[in-house]
Structure 1
Amino acid sequence: MADKIWRHTEAIHNGWRLYVAENPPLVEVTATLPRMLMQAAFYTLIAGPAAQRYAFIGVVAFVACSQLIVSVGDIPLTEQWYDTFYRLRTGVLSPVSVYLCRTLPYVGSAAIATLLVLGLDGLLLGQQDTVVRLLPFTPLYLLAVVTTASFALALAALAIGRANEILVGNVASYLMLAGSAVVTPLDSLPWLSHLGDVLPLTHALRAIRAGVDGRPWGHEAAVEAAIGLGWLTVAVGTIAWGTARAGGWRLRHRFRRSVAVRG
């Protein structure tokens, strides 16, 4: 047990080192965070005075989650791009465990970014009253971060080896922006609303908005958790299947080589 804990801790530490290498602290403070703040402010302001609170609630979650989709999606894709997946397969920990551990630093960063955008943009945009109302529902924002990470990992696992796999994260983030009713309600586009029903973030935002308005929100929160669990199941299953398939391919390749040498 102690050995497994140590190995998982090291996998998380390696994920943290990867995160810092890709996102140096100075860049995070001087570029990434200001970009998130400006992006959130832009989406809130274009919604118009009457809908600014609705949009603000949505973009607080979206700006960090949109970056999370790309960052987490790159974790399994990088192993394929650099042809290092075979090394991962030979380790004691399964690729699924390694990917999940490497994801945690990105999830933590997105959670912190969400809270910073909530506080700082709330002051910049005059949404202090909304921020106060949102404070009891910050766990739902954190839930949205977790479900989005599961979604990103599942999409990356499904996209491995396919054409234009690098575009999957960006396409998914724009799909969430439209389908999850981040900035504006989708009453006039029911087909897009139905698509959003299976996406992360959608039900978390519904729960948050319901809670702020004093309406029941528990059911939507439970659905968001179920959506995240569903995408996590897809991710784990797809990665495990890909690992087994890769193992079978290598065994066949070695057998053919041994036959050719004997011949």
Structure 2
Amino acid sequence: MTTRERTPASTALWRAAEAVRLGRREMSATLPPAASIFATLPKGVLQIVFFTVLGGVVAGQDHRQFAFVGGLVLALTTTNTVNVINVPFGDKYFSTFWRIRHGDVPVAVVLYARAVPYLAVGFGLFLAEAAIAAAVLGMTDVALRLLPWLPVFALMACGYALLGIAAATATIAKRADVLAPNILGYLTMLCAGAFLPPGRVGWIDAIGSVLPVRHGLAAVRAGLDGRPWLTEAVLELVICLASAALGLLAVAVQTRRAARHGHDDFA
């Protein structure tokens, strides 16, 4: 029986909680509260307002709700949630991966637990951005109608974060760790259906169907219109779980690679 198998559940939970606390301290160092309030929050608000106004100009006032919901999703993911990639980046740049690799807590648990504070703060910022943007745009009624759909927004954030961590971890040895999450962000903007309605461009629909956000966004819009939404929400959950599995695979590959080469510098 291994040491991990003998570890009581209470001890394992305590260690995971300590990893979350470590993630909070890391986040405070890399993304101080002042930076969140004075940089990230205004950026998110302006992003939502810009895309909503643009949607109204391009497609008419009837398109504003469509564009507003799309702007909310992109502000949540590409502006706020993307910060979780600082977790694998930190292990690379500060050469701490070897310590995690030799610990009693599985590497993936440490990685994902440290990402929790980024997700929590990102979602809190998103709520503030949504409220401010809705007030500026005169769309507070739409924002209030979206409140029951916050769990779906949270699911979209988790799926995007998990896939971002997987992409950064998988490419960290190829010195493409910054490029990969950025490509993911642009693909999300293009293929999520945030502004381009589904059914217009086939290859965009095909790519978006296997990425986070698209199905969750479709579920929210269907719910607002009174149409069936559960199937789309389940598909979003499946993609979220698949993203988590890809992250586990990326961690396993990097752990194996580090053990084989005898170092963790990812050169």
Please give the TM-score of this superposition, normalised by the length of structure 2: 0.89
Find 1:238's aligned residue among 224, 239, 250.
250
Find 1:122's aligned residue among 111, 124, 134.
134
Find 1:43's aligned residue among 17, 41, 51.
51
Query: Which stretch shows the higher mean deviation, 64-73 or 85-94?
Result: 64-73
The number of residue pairs the alignment matches comes to: 251
**Shift in CA distance, 43/194, structure 1 to aligned 2, threshold 3 Å:** same
Matched with 1:7 is 15
In structure 1, C-alpha distance between the alignment counterparts of 2:158 and 2:16, rounded to whole Å:
19
Q: Deviations over 1:94-126 (max 9, x none)?
A: 211110100100111122122222222111111
**Shift in CA distance, 175/102, structure 1 to aligned 2, threshold 3 Å:** same
AA in 1 matched with 2:19: A
Trace 1:1-263 onto structure 2 (pairs within 5 A).
Answer: 1=8, 2-48=10-56, 49-68=61-80, 70-250=82-262
Can you give the 5+ residue segments of structure 1 that lack an aligned partner in the other structure? Answer: 252-263
Secondary structure in 2 aligned to 1:165? coil
Query: Which stretch shows the higher mean deviation, 203-212 or 115-124?
Result: 115-124
Can you give the 5+ residue segments of structure 2 that lack an aligned partner in the other structure? Answer: 1-7
Larger Rg: 1
Please give the TM-score of this superposition, normalised by the length of structure 1: 0.90
AA in 2 matched with 1:33: L
In structure 2, C-alpha distance between the alignment counterparts of 1:154 and 1:80, rounded to whole Å:
14
Superposed displacement of residue 5, structure 1: 2.0
Secondary structure in 1 aligned to 2:27? helix
Paired-residue identity, %? 30
Confirm or deny: 8 A CA contact 2:40 2:79 kept in the other structure: no
Superposed displacement of residue 3, structure 1: 2.2
**Shift in CA distance, 81/247, structure 1 to aligned 2, threshold 3 Å:** same
Query: Which stretch shows the higher mean deviation, 16-25 or 71-80?
Result: 71-80
Alignment RMSD: 1.6
Matched with 2:3 is none
In structure 1, C-alpha distance between the alignment counterparts of 2:199 and 2:231, rounded to whole Å:
20
Q: Deviations over 1:181-205 (max 9, x none)?
A: 1123143211101100011110010
In structure 2, C-alpha distance between the alignment counterparts of 1:99 and 1:134, rounded to whole Å:
31
In structure 1, C-alpha distance between the alignment counterparts of 2:19 and 2:83, rounded to whole Å:
17
Q: Deviations over 1:195-237 (max 9, x none)?
A: 0001111001000000000000000000000000001001012
AA in 2 matched with 1:27: A
Superposed displacement of residue 131, structure 1: 1.4
AA in 2 matched with 1:206: A
Confirm or deny: 8 A CA contact 2:158 2:240 kept in the other structure: yes
In structure 1, C-alpha distance between the alignment counterparts of 2:260 and 2:182, rounded to whole Å:
32
Query: Which stretch shows the higher mean deviation, 75-84 or 130-139?
Result: 75-84
**Shift in CA distance, 152/244, structure 1 to aligned 2, threshold 3 Å:** same
Superposed displacement of residue 67, structure 1: 3.0
